[in-house]
Amino acid sequence: MADFELKVGPVEACKIDYSKSIEELTAYYDDLAKKIAGGQPELANGEFMQLGYALDFLDLVKRVFNMDLNFEETEIPKLDQIIAALSQAILTKKIPPEAGGDIMKKASGFLSVVIWRNIGGGFISSNIGYGVNINGTNAFVYNRIGRRLQGDASCDVTSFYEELKKL
């Protein structure tokens, strides 16, 4: 069996103002995407990607569940229900397993933005996915969402979020 080594990049302070409305964050994202496409690739970073995934997740939830979410922490119980439903759909093959990776990225982006908006912290990237850093503790949002989508009910989002609030 090969040794496993977790490699985590340096913590980066969040550069995006998450206190803005969804409309303002969408406009910010769209403007930055135009700048990146127009020859400023240095503006593309993991935090920018997470915001994009979060906005995609809002769209997915609107289309699939006919629900409007926002980035307030009051949405965490709803997120748990949505992830459980998506997990069940993946496990029963109503959603192709290959779509699970895309869903995982989008849900992880959403949860990361909710954390940054309501708890604070910084952005981290690693060889096991993106996450957040809160007061020196790395929390791998991507892996938590992934395990929950694969059917691990112990990886609920609500308890994870509550633990992060204690840091």
Run means of pLDDT, 10 residues per run, the chain, 167 residues: 81 94 97 96 92 98 96 96 95 89 95 97 88 93 92 94 96
Burial 84-104 (b: 16+ CB within 10 A, else e): bebbebbeeeebeeeebeebb
40 phi/psi in degrees, rounded to 5: -120, 65
What is the pTM (predicted TM-score) of this model? 0.93
Beta bridge partners of 30: none
pLDDT value, residue 2: 67
Map out the domains of the chain with their CATH numbers.
Answer: 17-165 (1.20.120.1090)
Q: Any bridge partners for residue 145, and if so which?
A: none
Task: Give the number of other Cβ atoms within 10 Å of residue 29's Cβ.
Answer: 16
Contact in structure between 12 and 130 (CB atoms under 8 Å): no
Which ranges constitute the DSSP H helices of the chain? 22-37, 46-65, 76-91, 97-118, 141-149, 157-165
Strand duo 137-139 + 12-13: pairing? unpaired
Distance from the first to the final alpha carbon of the chain: 34
Whole-angstrom Cα Rg for the chain: 16
Cα distance between residue 85 and residue 87, in whole Å = 5
pLDDT score recorded for residue 98: 83
The pLDDT value recorded for residue 5 is 85
